[in-house]
Amino acid sequence: EVQLLESGGESVQPGGSLKLSCTASGFTFGDHDIGWYHQAPGDECELVSTIGGDGITWYTDAVKGRFTISQDNDKNTVYLQMNSLKPEDTGVYYCASDIHIVLRQTDCRGDEYSYWGQGTQVTVSS
């Protein structure tokens, strides 16, 4: 069975850090893109960051300089290091994988991509 499994979401204070993980089972990322999406309460999924099979990364402006995406091929895992967290970073974070991850906004866990994780909750609050 193909699965993406996220972990690492927690409740933290503003200014804190978290590291999210997205581990694939049943397939290898290979040439696929992997993207992290953020769903704020009541909103669609918004693309936060991507990493391609060639290692090229992309970040939305709101997280540039604060978040870092990386990939460990030996562990078939993609990470999202989140620093200087803000209350507006609160929400569910999903990882998705497909040949190309390009949609800035999409339905969470919709049909646009082949693989989605179940999400991990991040809460930033004092």
Residues 69-83 pLDDT 10s: 999 999 999 999 999
Residues 76, 23: contact at Cβ < 8 Å?
yes
Q: Report which DSSP code applies to 3.
A: E
Once rounded to an integer, what is the mean pLDDT over residues 100-104?
93
Sheet harboring 3-7: ordered strands across?
A: 3-7, 18-25, 77-82, 67-72
Residue 89 has pLDDT above 90, yes or no: yes
Q: pLDDT tier at 114 (50, 70, 90 boundaries)?
A: very high
Q: DSSP secondary structure string, 66-102?
A: TEEEEEETTTTEEEEEE-S--GGG-EEEEEEEES---
The pLDDT score that the predictor gives to residue 20 is: 98
pLDDT tens-place string over residues 32-69: 999 999 999 999 999 999 999 899 999 999 999 999 99
pLDDT on residue 25: 92
Q: Considering all CA atoms of the chain, what is the largest pairwise distance in Å, rounded to the nearest integer?
A: 40
